[in-house]
Amino acid sequence: MMMRTGRLVGKVMLGLAGSLVAFSVQTANAEDWPSIVEAKQIAEEGYVYGLPIVMNYAIMYDYAVDRDSDQFKAPFNEIKNEARVYTYKDTTIISPNSDTPYSVASLDLRAEPVVLSVPAVDKRYYSVQLVDGNTYNFGYIGSRATGSDAGDYMIAGPDWSGETPEGIKKVFRASTQFSLAIYRTQLFGPDDMPNVEKVQAGYKVQTLSAYAGEPAPAAAPAVDFPKVDKELVKTNFFEYLDFALQFAPASSAETEIRAKLAKIGVGPGKSFQFKDMPLEHRLEVALGMRDGDEKVKAYLADKLYKANGWSISDLWGDAAFIDGDWIKRAAGASAGIYGNDAAEAVYILGRNLANGDLLDGSKQSYTLTFPAGELPPVEAFWSITMYDGKTQLLIENPINRYLINSPMLPELKKNTDGSLTLYIQKDTPGADKESNWLPAPDGPIYLAMRMYWPKTGKPSVLPVGQGTWQPPALETAK
């Protein structure tokens, strides 16, 4: 759920601050720009506003544009099915789940809508999460949202005004001209993969004209996508934001921040060039970005719901859910871009013991015990996934186990009182406990407890922060 690109975005501030001294010649008149104080404030607010947009662009570039990328999935408007779960080798998105084989379709909605067709999927959880370039979850298809029947669903861009053909069950409207469909198909175990592949074979992506059997409209203009790679640390965050915004018509909630960004040359119809700013403005812009980054980190530290040392997040949703709260949106991207709405999945994040001590596999072994009858209450399934605390990526380990989830319950050993104890440590807890071992890194630990399709009623983790069920505390191993 951030990414290799997230690490690059984090490095942008370092790259900017370290390279500013190279610009000794002012290429613009200071009077043409806002004051340095205002420029710094705009950069801070713009960074918070733009972080998810830039992160999403970097993923789109890896997934659908750069065919030489080892993370490339498929061209626009084609689907890529992964007949496997994610491992430590998958580095584009940070904190990925390793429960559900992914299918991915990057959508170009400029010329016409796209139709997503799904097969009947019975007795198996699946979801299709629709995310636009603003990182809003603008719709869902799947077990919870639309049921188990087969169906055809149309995804339209912000400017589309055509007719909906017969056979379309629902139309979803993206706020940007490029979008992403993320499919998650439940896997019950390694032997179940052929069955998942059969479901995936029923996922279909096609343009509206192809679906309707009509001539295709004129193709949208070719796009010269700016390259995203490690050189990003030597360039400028706002150049990527400037590029992405041309495909994202402003909503009423964005009027103020878009007007501010325009003052420093960022926005549709503009062409931001960091090098064209007066030197003193460049310095302040870099400082403003740094301050914006610190604000996002502080938000994540202070604003999430706390329970027994865990942080329960409710950071992802549609445009109405975000409602112009840009720091909330940026925090969601930083915690794990493309997180689900709470109704679809609740994410419970662990970096600490109940007393606040940081989890560290190089210093300590831990246990997590669910009392009898108090496993996470879900309609679909739950999982606990281990990540490296520094990178938020899956870790290589001797038993190739990245998580423990509810489909594994028949193989897990329960205690005599019916409780379930998981062993979270870098070294094996011993042959008698290895079935319940979740290998940890030799360093900082980041855990994500996922509850897919959380139950309502009692007990429930919903509403987030007020639910009657809470995760048990992690404890140091005795």
Concatenated DSSP letters of 428-465: ---TTTGGGEEE--SSBEEEEEEEEEEPPSSS--PSTT
Query: How far, CA to CA in Å, does 347 sit from each of 146, 158, 311, 478?
Result: 22, 30, 8, 28
Cβ–Cβ contacts within 10 Å for residue 208, how many?
24
Query: Residue 4 domain-assigned?
Result: no
The answer on pLDDT for 231 being more than 70 is no
Q: Are 172 and 158 in contact (CB under 8 A)?
A: no
pLDDT tens for 404-440 read 999 999 999 999 999 999 999 999 999 999 999 999 9
> What's the pLDDT tens digit per position in 69-112?
989 999 999 999 999 999 999 987 888 889 999 999 999 999 99
Residue 218 forms part of a structural domain: no
The pLDDT value given to residue 271: 74
Which pLDDT score is estimated for 23?
Answer: 30
User: Is residue 7 over pLDDT 60?
Assistant: no
Highest mean predicted confidence (pLDDT) among 91-95, 285-289, 333-337, 421-425:
421-425
Coil, strand or helix at 262: helix
**Total number of domains constituting the chain:** 3
Residue 1 lies in a domain: no
Residues 6+ apart with CB under 8 A from 345: 339, 450, 451, 452, 453, 454
Whether residues 425 and 364 fall in one domain: yes
* Segment 386-407, tens digit of pLDDT: 999 999 999 999 999 999 999 9
Query: Are 455 and 292 in contact, with CB atoms under 8 Å apart?
Result: no
pLDDT at 234: 45
Q: How far is CA 194 from the centre of its chain?
A: 27
Higher pLDDT, 278 or 36: 36
91 and 129 share a domain?
yes
Asked whether residue 134 is domain-assigned, the answer is: yes
Could you give the CA distance from residue 394 to residue 441 in angstroms, rounded to a whole number? 9
Instruction: Say yes or no to pLDDT of 133 above 80.
Output: yes
CATH number where 195 lies? 2.60.40.1610
177, 212, 247 - which closes a domain: 212
Whether residue 94 is found in the same domain as residue 129: yes
Cα pseudo-dihedral 386, 391, 394, 395, rounded to 10 = -90
Instruction: Print the domain residue range for 126.
Output: 74-212
Residue type, 466: Q
Question: What is the residue whose two structure tokens read 């019916």?
Answer: 418
Give percent of the chain with pLDDT exceeding 90. 81
* φ and ψ at residue 459, rounded to 5 degrees: -80, 155
What's residue 282's pLDDT? 83
Torsion angles phi and psi, residue 393, rounded to 5 = -105, 160
Chain-wide mean pLDDT for the chain?
91
**Alpha-carbon distance 141 to 127, whole Å?**
6
Considering the domain architecture, whether residues 311 and 435 belong to the same structural domain is answered as yes
Compute the C-alpha angle 113/119/122, nearest 5°: 140
CATH code for position 439: 2.60.120.600
Task: Give the separation between CA 367 and CA 377, rounded to whole angstroms.
Answer: 20
Token pair belonging to 245: 């915004």
Indicate whether 197 and 292 sit together in one domain. Answer: no
Q: How far apart are CA 273 and CA 237, in angstroms?
A: 10
Q: Do 211 and 93 contact (CB within 8 A), yes or no?
A: no
Are 178 and 247 in the same domain? Answer: no
Beta pairing partners, 103: 81, 183
Return the pLDDT at 57: 95
pLDDT one-digit tens code per residue, 154-201: 999 999 999 999 999 999 999 999 999 999 999 998 899 999 999 999
Confidence of residue 26 (pLDDT cuts 50, 70, 90): very low
338 and 440 housed in the same domain: yes
pLDDT tens, residue by residue, 241-254: 999 999 999 999 99
**Chosen domain end from 300, 330, 355:** 300
pLDDT single digits (tens) 50-70: 999 999 999 999 999 999 998
